[in-house]
């Protein structure tokens, strides 16, 4: 068996497909994925990697009542004998829930009895699964039941945490100060959109797309961001503007590819655009988003060090020109699943940590979670995994901004270049306008409950062929509000008014 290989027995009744197996990966103690190759063979999933260290195995897994979620095993050591996949996934989820119960109880969370009851039943099922491994089908059935019960317990636990944490935040008698807004995209903030927007949000993300503003080298089109920022100021919306550089095909102008092999020239062009943008809007912008997607940006053939240097340069420019305005850098796909399929030295958290430790005047870090999308999105996780991610990023010691999108349709025609399409069967009952709103009602309050989260932005306002995320908007192509916007408006009314 090759170095670092593991064998996992797949239950006979499993709905695991080769496509889902391709999304699987392993990660070490720091939750950083290792490049690996997975393949289904004779009822087993073979995982091949270049290291033999113990680690957790992550895979999309269908769970009754919860959709298809990215689950992980407990830590698996290298061995010749195969593991039973369903049993190890159950063990991993229950270990995670038990550990989180202990952590939250230590900070004063009152854990309801229904959480303990659900965990007791889940552990009973896991015990039966572990002791039935001589019978693969029987063990898998008990393990699958344990997974369902474990996720039920996790949902009850997170709901309790969210309610108690939000109640504590509101006891001060003050409204939440979290920035709550949406990415305006290429849309003017005018009636009737403005009326909808002001009922839902207290802030706005104005995208200073280099590709849109300087489509022709040296020719700048500032009319749309001028209008958007003026409308925000007139209506007392906090303005987050940027990114000054976004290193993917949708963020950089086509003419820059002529300089792909000349990094010093690229650095000069980035500096020039950043300076022009910050000078133009100095005093009108409340938060500068200096760079975005630098950890995954594949628009140019740049090394990780070069992408880090470009991000650092935009921070330096914004600091020099506008020293009083907060500065943020945004990182995409924070669970870093992509590292399991392509070699990379820096995880998103490592990129962020390098910038934080560099001495630059970074005020906050932002993470982008386009959940349920491919390519370029994050595979759906349950709320406990979501909470743990937020806590992990808060260890950087800076305020956290979160950018979100989830789909409003279950499937779509093949997405065109630069567009991300929904991953089907990843939400109970399928993605729909109503379930997009249901996701918001479940997950956004958890974000609001976290003191470290200082800003929440929805990543797309409208649906339409020109938008990046298929059916990820808050309004349909005709400008009619979707249930998702109603859900966000309700949260604004409850927590900010």
Binned at pLDDT 50, 70 and 90, residue 340 comes out as: confident
Cis amide prior to 375 (ω within 30 degrees): yes
pLDDT, tens digit, 9 for 90 and up, residues 217-276: 999 999 999 999 999 999 999 999 999 999 888 899 999 999 988 999 999 999 999 999
State the residue for tokens 């630059």. 360
pLDDT for residue 15 is more than 90: no
DSSP single-letter state for residue 418: T
The pLDDT assigned to 93 comes to 98
Say how far apart CA 327 and CA 278 lie, in whole Å: 11
pLDDT, tens digit, 9 for 90 and up, residues 299-334: 788 999 999 999 999 999 999 999 999 999 999 999
Among 76-80, 213-217, 452-456, the minimum mean pLDDT is found in 76-80
**Which two tokens mark 357?**
């430790």
**Which two tokens mark 408?**
């409003």
Among 48-52, 375-379, 387-391, the minimum mean pLDDT is found in 48-52
Q: What is the DSSP string of 164-186?
A: HHHHHHHTTSSPP--EEEEB-TT
Considering the chain, what percentage of its residues have pLDDT values greater than 70?
Answer: 98
Say how far apart CA 35 and CA 336 lie, in whole Å: 11
Say how far apart CA 296 and CA 81 lie, in whole Å: 36
pLDDT for residue 1 is more than 60: no
Q: How far is CA 472 from the centre of its chain?
A: 14
Task: Note whether 340 and 34 are within 8 A (CB).
Answer: yes
Contacts of 258 (CB under 8 A, 6+ apart): none
> Around Cβ 130, how many Cβ atoms within 10 Å?
17
Contacts of 57 (CB under 8 A, 6+ apart): 6, 8, 24, 25, 26, 47, 72, 73, 76, 85, 88
Q: How many CA atoms lie within 13 A of 415 on its CB side?
A: 21
Binned at pLDDT 50, 70 and 90, residue 115 comes out as: very high
Q: Largest Cα–Cα distance in the chain?
A: 70
> Around Cβ 167, how many Cβ atoms within 10 Å?
10
pLDDT for residue 298 is more than 90: no
pLDDT for residue 371 is more than 70: yes
62: left (phi over 0), alpha (psi -120 to 50) or beta: beta
Say how far apart CA 22 and CA 168 lie, in whole Å: 43
Q: H or E segment at 151?
A: helix 136-170
99-116 mean pLDDT: 95
Considering the chain, what percentage of its residues have pLDDT values greater than 90?
Answer: 80
pLDDT for residue 356 is more than 70: yes
Instruction: Give 175-495's CATH code, choosing from 3.30.342.10, 3.30.420.40, 3.20.20.80, 3.30.465.10.
Output: 3.20.20.80
Domain ranges across the chain:
6-169, 175-495
Q: How high is the mean pLDDT of the chain?
A: 93
pLDDT for residue 417 is more than 70: no
Binned at pLDDT 50, 70 and 90, residue 415 comes out as: low
pLDDT, tens digit, 9 for 90 and up, residues 128-182: 999 999 999 999 999 999 999 999 999 999 999 999 999 999 887 677 899 999 9
């Amino acid at each position: 068996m090759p170095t670092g290989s593991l064998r996992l027995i797949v239950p006979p009744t499993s709905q695991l497909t080769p496509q889902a197996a391709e999304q699987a990966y392993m990660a070490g103690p720091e939750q950083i994925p290792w490049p690996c190759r997975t393949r289904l063979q004779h009822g087993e999933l073979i995982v091949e990697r270049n290291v033999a260290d113990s680690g957790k195995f992550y895979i999309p897994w269908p769970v009754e009542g919860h959709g298809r979620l990215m689950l992980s095993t407990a830590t698996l050591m290298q061995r010749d004998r195969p593991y039973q996949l369903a049993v190890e996934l159950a063990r991993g989820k229950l270990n995670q829930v038990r550990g989180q119960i202990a952590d939250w109880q230590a900070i004063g969370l009152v854990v309801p009895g229904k959480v303990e009851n659900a965990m007791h039943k889940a552990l009973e099922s896991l015990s039966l699964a572990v002791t039935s491994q001589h019978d693969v089908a029987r063990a898998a059935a008990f393990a699958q039941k344990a997974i369902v019960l474990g996720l039920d317990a996790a949902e009850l636990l997170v709901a309790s945490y969210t309610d108690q944490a939000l109640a504590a935040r509101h006891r001060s008698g003050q409204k939440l100060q979290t920035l709550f807004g949406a990415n305006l995209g290429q849309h003017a903030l005018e009636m009737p959109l403005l009326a909808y927007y002001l009922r839902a949000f207290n802030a706005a993300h104005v995208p200073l797309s280099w590709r849109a503003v300087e489509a022709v080298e040296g020719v700048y089109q500032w009319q749309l961001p001028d209008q958007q920022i003026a409308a925000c100021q007139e209506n007392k919306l906090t303005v987050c503007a940027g990114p000054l550089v976004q290193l993917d095909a949708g963020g950089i102008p086509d003419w820059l590819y002529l300089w792909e092999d000349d990094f010093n020239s690229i650095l000069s062009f980035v500096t020039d655009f950043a300076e022009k943008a910050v000078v133009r809007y100095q005093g009108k912008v409340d938060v500068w988003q200096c760079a975005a997607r630098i950890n995954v940006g594949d628009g140019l053939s740049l090394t990780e060090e070069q992408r880090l240097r470009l991000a650092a340069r935009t921070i330096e420019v914004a600091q020099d020109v506008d020293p009083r305005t907060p500065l943020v850098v945004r990182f995409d796909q924070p669970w870093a699943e992509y590292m399991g399929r392509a070699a990379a030295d820096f995880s998103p958290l490592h990129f962020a940590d390098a910038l934080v430790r560099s001495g630059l005047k970074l005020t906050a870090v932002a993470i982008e979670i386009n959940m349920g999308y491919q390519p370029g999105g994050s595979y759906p996780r349950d709320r406990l995994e979501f909470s743990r991610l937020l806590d992990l990023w808060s260890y950087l010691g800076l305020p956290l901004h979160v950018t979100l999108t989830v789909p409003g349709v279950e499937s779509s025609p093949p997405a065109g270049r630069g567009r991300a399409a929904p991953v089907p069967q990843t939400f109970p009952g399928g993605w729909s306008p109503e379930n997009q709103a249901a996701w918001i009602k479940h997950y956004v309050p958890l974000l609001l409950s976290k003191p470290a989260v200082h800003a929440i932005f929805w990543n797309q306002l409208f649906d339409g062929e020109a938008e990046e995320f298929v059916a990820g908007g808050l309004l349909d192509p005709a400008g009619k509000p979707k249930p998702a916007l109603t859900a966000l408006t309700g949260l604004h009314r409850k927590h900010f008014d």
